[in-house]
Structure 1
Amino acid sequence: MPSCTDHLVLSTIDGAADLLIEELRAMSSVRSIRQLSAETVACAVDGPWDELVACALYFTIAVGDPGRPAVEVPSLSWMRRFGRVERLPWSTNPVVAEVLVRLAKIRPGDRVVDPFCGTGTILRAVRRRTPAADVIGTDHDPYALGLAAANGCRELARAKAEALPYEDKSVDRVVTNLPFGKQVGSHQLNRTLYPAVLRELDRVLTGDGRVVLLTEDKSLLQNAIQRHRALKVVRQRLLKYNGATPTAYVLTRTQAWTKRTSKR
């Protein structure tokens, strides 16, 4: 890896820059960190780039002195750093997956499920971030599961998200990219799918569990959460990339659920 002092510009997605800055601040060789735009962060590096190269919250690095155009370093692109993987047109953007995983606050030993895992982008992000987690993916599409297996995902099962093959209160974290109704599914189908998925997540989630759901069908999900009442939104994060503007919703148990279970 390079070992010198360089001024760098890192490109990410709109909605991830603050997380990228947080991780850069924890790196011993990185200094002079500042956000240039919604999608770019500048910094200076003194010494090895190992920590910087291992960071998964950006796509590309460009090198350039202050006031001069930066020149991208092709060998440090996302693809070169993390390898080529099998994808479908609706596969989760890899940096988006990294954002969702950070919002989930996964702990070593947690059982983490992606019930719409597709080709496994989120599963791989969980494994990269928390290697000691128990990472499981389910999907109703056998072809997508085959691609996920080819991408190195191990624990996979064919199942519908509204009928997961897990016991009650056995899942610590759920992280998933819901069907928006654009490339996959439809708004009409989501009217029944979203409430059914919330009921199932309520069933399998542990008492201190945490759910991260990404969607552009926002009003529909918010209404379904309000009607369900066992889960509540504790955080939201708007993401913008490739013309899409989905929101990541972080859910935990409600006080009403805690009172209900304590009476049993």
Structure 2
Amino acid sequence: MTDPAPQPDHGQPDGALVLRLRAAGCVFAEDEALLLAEAAGGDPDELERLVVRRVAGEPLEPLLGWAEFAGLRLRVEPGVFVPRHRTELLAERAAQEAAARPGPTVLDLCCGVGAIAAVVLRRVPDARVLAADVEPAAVRCARANLEPAARVFEGDLFAPLPRELRGGIDVIAVNAPYVPTVEISRMPPEARDHEPAVALDGGGDGLDVHRRIAAGAPDWLAPGGVLLIEASDEQASVSAALFTAGGLAVVIEQDDERGSTVVIARSAASS
């Protein structure tokens, strides 16, 4: 299970190291210098190896071995999708929805390293939490972050889930890939060159995976269940229409401060 995120070290970073990181374009060079020094554990050779990789453009979090998300420290490895702070809105709303139900079953779909599931586990102790992703390295990290408190499945969307869950999931939270294919080349190198395409590429308009989820989710939601899925501001109305067409009642929520947009789709309660 995950641990609370470590508190920042308020010591003074090495000035030469800060200059190297700043010259490489690291906006928070002072903070990164302290974190890399901590990760090196006092070994100057290891610190130099980490700095060389960071200056070459590798994301910070896999070099540290963890990412901070909603106050939690999550294990990340090189080559996995690093959870973004804008997704905290999705995680918070999923936890709120779960907390409103007794003993809820919650699915973190396209879970990556399990960030949303970890927040739900922390905030809703009686939740039965599941997670699934198609990318093996992400699944490995999710298992390290979540098990044994949650079950993690490897496979495409709903395919690896036990059949008995069909029609019984109270909350489905999804951070599916939603970047249009033509936009991948315009992403920051940290994402474009170091994160798996399967976690980024959403097809022509970015909503190919949303379409597949909208087609399958109604069969998996419990009566009165809810699905929450992240989208861009520009895509949200189209994504919402996909879930409306599937018979779900849809609203869109936004958090301008974090740049977050979440489509929330509810199934009808049983009569």
Normalising by structure 1, what TM-score? 0.58
Q: Deviations over 1:90-114 (max 9, x none)?
A: 4242733542324424334111001
Runs of 4+ residues deviating >4 angstroms: 78-83
State the shift of 1:133 in Å. 0.5
Q: Which residue pairs with 2:88 in the alignment?
A: 95
Q: Per the alignment, do residues 191 and 239 of structure 1 end up closer, same or farther by CA in structure 2, a change over 3 Å counting? A: same
AA partner of residue 249 (structure 1): V
State the shift of 1:189 in Å. 7.0
Q: Which residue pairs with 1:231 in the alignment?
A: 248
| Match 1:196 to one of 209, 212, 230 | 212
Q: Deviations over 1:73-106 (max 9, x none)?
A: xxxxx95995532234442427335423244243
Q: Per the alignment, do residues 80 and 134 of structure 1 end up closer, same or farther by CA in structure 2, a change over 3 Å counting? A: closer
Q: Which residue pairs with 1:21 in the alignment?
A: none
Q: Which residue pairs with 1:145 in the alignment?
A: 139
Secondary structure, counterpart of 2:156 in structure 1: coil
| Match 2:226 to one of 185, 202, 210 | 210
Aligned length: 182
Q: Per the alignment, do residues 123 and 223 of structure 1 end up closer, same or farther by CA in structure 2, a change over 3 Å counting? A: same
More divergent stretch after superposition (119-128 vs 82-91): 82-91
Q: Which residue pairs with 1:253 in the alignment?
A: 267
Q: Per the alignment, do residues 208 and 231 of structure 1 end up closer, same or farther by CA in structure 2, a change over 3 Å counting? A: same
Q: Per the alignment, do residues 98 and 190 of structure 1 end up closer, same or farther by CA in structure 2, a change over 3 Å counting? A: closer
Q: Which residue pairs with 2:110 in the alignment?
A: 116
Normalising by structure 2, what TM-score? 0.57
Checking the alignment, whether the CA contact within 8 Å between 1:97 and 1:122 is kept in structure 2 is yes
Checking the alignment, whether the CA contact within 8 Å between 2:225 and 2:267 is kept in structure 1 is yes
Distance of 2:175 and 2:96 partners within structure 1: 13
Q: Per the alignment, do residues 178 and 166 of structure 1 end up closer, same or farther by CA in structure 2, a change over 3 Å counting? A: same
Checking the alignment, whether the CA contact within 8 Å between 2:81 and 2:138 is kept in structure 1 is no
Q: Which residue pairs with 1:84 in the alignment?
A: 73
Distance of 1:173 and 1:150 partners within structure 2: 22
Q: Which residue pairs with 1:170 in the alignment?
A: 168
Secondary structure, counterpart of 2:113 in structure 1: coil
Q: Gaps (5+ residues) in structure 1?
A: 1-54, 61-77
Distance of 1:120 and 1:253 partners within structure 2: 24
Secondary structure, counterpart of 1:85 in structure 2: strand
Q: Deviations over 1:172-203 (max 9, x none)?
A: 11112222215611342744422221121101
Q: How does 1:34-73 map to 2 (within 5 A)?
A: none
Distance of 1:119 and 1:195 partners within structure 2: 23
- The answer to which structure has the higher strand fraction is 1
